[in-house]
Amino acid sequence: MRNRALATLTGALAGLAFAATAAHAETLPVEYDSAVGFAHSSPTAAPPGANNFACKRSARHPRPVILVHGTFEDMANNWWALSPLLADNGYCVFAFNYGSSEGSGEVGVYGTGHIAHSAEELSAFVNEVLAATRATKVDLVGHSQGGMMPRYYLRFLGGAAKVHTLVGLAPSNHGTTFNGLFTLAENIPGATSFAGHCVACEEQAAGSAFIAHLNAGGETVRGVYYTVIESEHDEVVTPYTSAFLTGPKVTNITLQNQCSLDLGEHLSMAYDHIADADVLSALDPRHPLTPACTPVLPIIGG
């Protein structure tokens, strides 16, 4: 009787262990469709897989990854593909909203305020993530303004000591045209209401005082690795080559050099499976990926 009870208990515990393992092995769905992402626009919601402040870093991926959204976007609608993809690959993933201006954040439209102030918000969030995870450095992945704004943090706010890698998806590193920024606004729900009051748009204009200050004396800082991923079809950051950086530890990637079937542009960048594979390679260069050359659509991704 006693042995039978022990066997029953052992079997139950084994079943629980198997269930826990199975649950841990489950992966999050990765949606390579920007329409799905923008359907989840939110003033506060995090994308799938992000902001588990109890996340335990692995030996293979010891640095947390912080996702930095673009102008007029929020952390949910920008990262519905890349956040779960990173989590499924064993990263501790974090995301935040920044740059609310004149109430834009109340409707999920962020990245419109002064870029220097947004960099201060990034600095505070990096410190929060480092404290929670007990890591010494983070990696940053940003889209559009989110790939450029961290450079201000790295250069002027002490971020270089806390960041190992910065990956920019179509970053506005040398500014762009107002036409490009209004094209962006027209394709993001709610953005046109704030486009005329977007300080960050003025600061991202090619030739602005902000862009000149950011790039004066060199485009990179010592000790940080940079990867820029860009599409030759970018209609917001123009010319598309203006996204690229010069300096040590810089890798510039044009998507169409990898796959001519990639018709993705600025808006689809975060939902482009080829670009997202390049992000994984940039974060873990010892295990580079060769993304499948299959079609990617403008605006939507794939």
Residue 46 lies in a domain: yes
Across 58-74, average pLDDT: 97
Within-domain flag for 2: no
pLDDT greater at residue 220 or residue 181: 220
pLDDT tens by residue, 190-208: 888 888 889 999 999 999 9
Query: Nearest to residue 104, comparing CAs of 198, 40, 187, 181?
Result: 198
185 pLDDT band, cuts 50/70/90, is confident
Tokens of 185: 């606004």
Predicted local confidence at residue 186, as pLDDT: 83
Cα–Cα dist 53/114, whole Å:
28
Whether residue 216 is contained in a domain is answered as yes
Give per-residue pLDDT as tens, 98-136: 999 989 999 889 999 999 999 999 999 999 999 999 999
- Whether 61 is covered by a domain: the verdict is yes
* Helix-, strand-, coil-residue percentages of the chain, each rounded to 5: 40, 15, 45
176 lies in some domain: yes
pTM (2 d.p.) = 0.90
> Residues 136-156: pLDDT tens digits?
999 999 999 999 999 999 999
Work out the number of other CB atoms within 10 angstroms of the CB of residue 139. Answer: 24
For residue range 68-93, list pLDDT tens digits in order. 999 999 999 999 999 999 999 999 99
Residue 299 lies in a domain: no
67-100 as b/e: b if 16+ CB within 10 A = bbbbbbbbbbbbbbbbbbbbbbbebbbbbbbbbb
Q: Cβ(99)–Cβ(200) under 8 Å?
A: yes
More confident residue, 58 or 5: 58
Cβ within 8 Å of residue 62, ≥6 positions away: 135
Percent of the chain clearing pLDDT 90 (strictly above): 83
The residue segments making up the domain with residue 58 are 31-283
CB atoms within 10 A of CB 33: 17
CATH number, residue 275: 3.40.50.1820
Res. 171: pLDDT tops 70: yes
Q: Does the structure show a pLDDT above 90 at 187? A: no
Please state the rounded mean pLDDT for residues 257-275. Answer: 98
The pLDDT value recorded for residue 109 is: 93
Domains identified in the chain, total number:
1
Whole-number average pLDDT of the chain: 91
Residue 121: count of CB within 10 angstroms of its CB: 19
